[in-house]
Structure 1
Amino acid sequence: MRVELIDKAVKPIDEFISKETEMLPFSREKGFIPIEIDEANFHTLSLFSDDRELVGIDGGNSNIISAPNFSVDFIRAAAVYYRGKKRIKAEKKEFFCITKAENKNEKITYSIDAIGDSFFKISPISSKMETLDGEKYNLEISSVAGIVRRLAELNLAVQINAANANIIIDGSVKAKYAEEMELLQKLRERESIGFLSKTSRMLTKNASSLNSALNELGPKASWYYHPIFRINNPYYPGEMYFVKLSAKSKHVFKLEVLNGDAQRFIQAISMNSDDPVFHGYPYCLIDADKFARVTNNEKEYLKTLFLSKIKNKHKMQYLLSNSDAHDILDNIG
C-alpha cells in the first residue's frame, strides 16, 4: 500500500522538477529589480593568496526551560580565526537568555536578561513586532532567543580586533529591526565583510529554484555570479552574489557582501573552502558552527542543573506541565 502511494506521490514531483526554468530571478523583497540570468555574468575564480586573517562567525542557541510566561535559553556566539588553512585562535561568548512576559498597559512585552558574558545591551521587545520594511506579526516568547542570538553574532563581529581581516558571518545581511541596522552600519566601517546563507529558498519567475538554475547553467570550475538584482532597499545594505566556492562542490550559496573588494573577498573565502569535510563551504564557518553549537547532551545537562537549583519546585512543575504535552506524546511507545 505504501509503495503504491509513493509511486503516485513521486509522479507529480517528477513532473514539477522537470519543468523548464525561466531565467529571470524572483524576489518578494521591496526594491529588488531582477536581472535576466546570463552566462556572461559567471566569473571564474582563480588561485589566490591572501595573507589577511579570515574570521568565521556563527551562533547557536538551545531552549533549556520554557513556559507560557518565561523562557530560559542558552546562547553561544563564536568567532574562529584562520590565516590560510591554519586556525590561529577561536573565541566565544556565551550566556543564559532569560525572557519574561510582562503586561504593561494591556500590552505584552518581553524583558530580557543576559546572564554570563555580557558584551552588549538588550532592550525589552514588544510581542507586537513590526520589521523595518513594515511586516507586522505576533512574536512568541519562544522566538525571542533567535533574535538575541542574531544580535550576539553581529555584536561579536563589531568587536573583532583584527585589522583588515576578511569576516564571514553565517546568515543574511538584511536588517529586520533597528538594532540590527545600527550594527550593520558599524560593520560597514570595516574593510571586508560578507554574509553566507547555508540555505536559500530564492526562486525564478516560474518558481524554479534559483540556486539550482545557476548550478546547472554555471561552469564546472569554481565561480561567482553577479549581478542578479539591482537593489534599492535601505534595509538591505549589501550586494548579492551567488557562489560555487569549489570545483568539487555540488552546492551553490547566496553570499551578500557588505563592503570591500567583492572579488578579492570571494577568492579569499574560496581558498578556505576546499576541505573534503564539506567541499565548497568555508572551513572557518564549519569550525565556528562546531564551537557555537549547543548539543543535546549539553542542553540536558544545563536543564538538569537548572531545575535542581530552583527552590520553588512545586510551582515550576505546574508551569512546565503547560508546555510538555508534546514531549510526553513523543515518548509514548
Structure 2
Amino acid sequence: MSDDPVKSLIEELGAQLSQKEHSDVVLNNGKGKQFLIAPSEFCEIKQTESPRKIAFVDGGDGPLEESPNYLITINRVYYSLFQGKKRIKPKENPRVQFFSYVTSNIETVDGKKNVSYNTRLFPHSSEDKKYLPLESDLTSNTESTSVLQGARLNSLGRRFAEWQLAIHVVESELSAGDMLVVDGSLQTNFKNEIKYAKRLYDLAMKKGVIICGLAKTSRLITESGDPLLARVAEIAEDVSFGKWHVKIAEEVSSDDRGFMMAVKFHEKSRFVFRFEILREQFEAMNEEEINSVLDSLAQNSQDVAMIGYPYGAIDADRFAQVRMDELNMYKGFILSEMLKRPEWKRLQKYSASLSAHDVLNGVTS
C-alpha cells in the first residue's frame, strides 16, 4: 500500500469496482418483469411529423425559519406547456405559491412517545388556494425522538401541491393524446400521497392524457451493483443510433405505478434519464404510440442550455425553484413580522438552537 492515503483509496476502490461481473438487469423491489439490458434491446426514437402537446409540472421550496419543533417554508409549483419547440400559453396563471408551517405535538400512546406533525398552508393569493392539498392529508406520525428531522417535512406541502396542480392541468389544459410529465418518477413516498396520485391517474386515463415521469437522477443499481443509468450508457456505446429507449422493468417498487425505461433524447447528449409511463397506459400502447410519446419529448430536447433534456422541464424547474436571493428576501419578511410581536422574542430562541453550526461555518470558512 502506498504512503499516500488518497492514492491508495482510489487505486483500491477502482480495482474493486472494475473486477465485478455484470448482471444487466435492474435490482428492484417490485413484482413486475425485469428486462435484460443489451444492445439488441435498444429501440431507436424515430422522428414524427406531429409532436404531442406536453405539460411539464415541477415544484420548489425553501426553509425560511426552523427549530426542533417548528418549520416555516415557502413553496412554489409551476407548469409549462409545449408542443415540440413551440411554447403554448396556459389558460390560467401557471405558478402557485404558498407559505407553510409544520409544528410537532408529542403524545403518549400505550406507554410510547409519539410525535405527530401538523401542517398549515397559507396561499400567496386567493387564486392559489384552490390548488392546495387538504391540510388534514399532510399529518404524519413517528416514534423518532429527533423531532422535525429526517422526515422531509420541508417538501411535504410542495409535493402534494404538485399532484394537485397536475390534476388541474389535466382537467383544464390537456386533451386526449396529450402528455403530462412530472419531475421524478411516478412513485409515492408519503402517507396519503397515493390518494392524490390515484386521482390524477384515474382522471388522465378517463380523458386519454398520458402520464409520464422524467427523473434527472437515479440511485437504482443493477443486480451486480453497477449504477443503472451509467451501465445503460456503457451498453449503449454498442448501439448504432443516437436517440433511443430501452425497457428496464414493468415495476421497480410496489409504490411506483410507472413502466420504467431508460432514454436518450439527443444524439449529442451526455445524459441518460429514467423515464416512466403510467403502467396501464404503456401496456395499452403499440410501438408506434410509444415512439410518438418519446419523440415528442426528443423534439423538445434540443436547447443548448442542456441538450438532450426537455426544455419544458428546464422552464418548469426555473420558474418553480426558490432562488437564494428570494429566500433571503422572504426570510427578511418573516423576521420583520416576528419582531413586531412580543411572543416571538422568546420563540426565536427556539430557532437559535439550530443556528450555532451556521455561525461556526461563518467564522471558520
TM-score normalised according to structure 2 size: 0.82
Q: Aligned to 2:217, which of 199, 217, 225? A: 199
Tell me whether 1:236 sits opposite 2:266 in the alignment.
no
Tell me whether 1:66 sits opposite 2:73 in the alignment.
no
After the TM superposition, which of the residue ranges 174-183 and 111-120 deviates more from structure 2? 174-183
Q: Distance in 2 between matches of 1:128 and 1:296?
A: 31
Tell me whether 1:162 sits opposite 2:189 in the alignment.
no
After the TM superposition, which of the residue ranges 70-79 and 23-32 deviates more from structure 2? 23-32
Q: Aligned to 1:225, which of 231, 242, 246? A: 246
Q: Distance in 1 between matches of 2:70 and 2:148?
A: 13
- Measured after TM superposition, the shift of residue 139 of structure 1 is 6.4
Q: In the alignment, which residue of structure 2 is the partner of 1:213?
A: 231
Matches within 5 A, 1:68-83: 68-83=68-83
Q: In the alignment, which residue of structure 2 is the partner of 1:128?
A: 142
Q: In the alignment, which residue of structure 2 is the partner of 1:144?
A: 153
After the TM superposition, which of the residue ranges 310-319 and 238-247 deviates more from structure 2? 310-319
RMSD: 2.5
Tell me whether 1:329 sits opposite 2:329 in the alignment.
no
- Measured after TM superposition, the shift of residue 28 of structure 1 is 4.2
Q: Distance in 1 between matches of 2:180 and 2:272?
A: 20
- Measured after TM superposition, the shift of residue 17 of structure 1 is 4.2
Matches within 5 A, 1:94-109: 94-105=97-108, 106-109=113-116
Q: Distance in 1 between matches of 2:294 and 2:79?
A: 19
Partner deviation per Cα, 1:48-97 (whole Å, 9 max, x = no partner): 23353211111100000001111000010110111221222361111001
Local SS of the residue matching 2:305: coil
Q: Distance in 2 between matches of 1:284 and 1:231?
A: 26
Q: Distance in 2 between matches of 1:199 and 1:295?
A: 21
Name the amino acid aligned to 2:358: D
After the TM superposition, which of the residue ranges 178-187 and 241-250 deviates more from structure 2? 178-187
Name the amino acid aligned to 1:128: T
Q: CA contact under 8 A between 2:77 and 2:165: conserved in structure 1?
A: yes
How many residues are treated as equivalent by the alignment? 324
Q: CA contact under 8 A between 2:52 and 2:292: conserved in structure 1?
A: no
Q: CA contact under 8 A between 2:44 and 2:245: conserved in structure 1?
A: yes
Structure 1's 50 and 192: CA in aligned 2 closer, same or farther, altered over 3 A?
farther
Tell me whether 1:114 sits opposite 2:135 in the alignment.
no
% identical equivalent positions: 24
Q: CA contact under 8 A between 1:128 and 1:139: conserved in structure 2?
A: no
Structure 1's 44 and 211: CA in aligned 2 closer, same or farther, altered over 3 A?
same
- Measured after TM superposition, the shift of residue 157 of structure 1 is 0.6
- Measured after TM superposition, the shift of residue 32 of structure 1 is 4.7
Q: In the alignment, which residue of structure 1 is the partner of 2:189?
A: 176
Q: Distance in 1 between matches of 2:252 and 2:23?
A: 21
Local SS of the residue matching 1:168: strand
Local SS of the residue matching 1:203: coil
Local SS of the residue matching 1:195: strand
Q: In the alignment, which residue of structure 2 is the partner of 1:272?
A: 300
Q: Distance in 2 between matches of 1:265 and 1:180?
A: 26
- Measured after TM superposition, the shift of residue 317 of structure 1 is 3.0
Q: CA contact under 8 A between 2:215 and 2:275: conserved in structure 1?
A: yes
Q: In the alignment, which residue of structure 1 is the partner of 2:54?
A: 54
Q: CA contact under 8 A between 1:57 and 1:288: conserved in structure 2?
A: yes
- Measured after TM superposition, the shift of residue 235 of structure 1 is 2.7
After the TM superposition, which of the residue ranges 202-211 and 178-187 deviates more from structure 2? 178-187
TM-score normalised according to structure 1 size: 0.89
Tell me whether 1:185 sits opposite 2:198 in the alignment.
yes
Local SS of the residue matching 1:250: coil
Q: Aligned to 2:265, which of 231, 245, 250? A: 245
Q: Distance in 1 between matches of 2:35 and 2:333?
A: 54
- Measured after TM superposition, the shift of residue 307 of structure 1 is 0.8
Local SS of the residue matching 2:95: strand
Local SS of the residue matching 2:89: strand
Structure 1's 178 and 126: CA in aligned 2 closer, same or farther, altered over 3 A?
closer
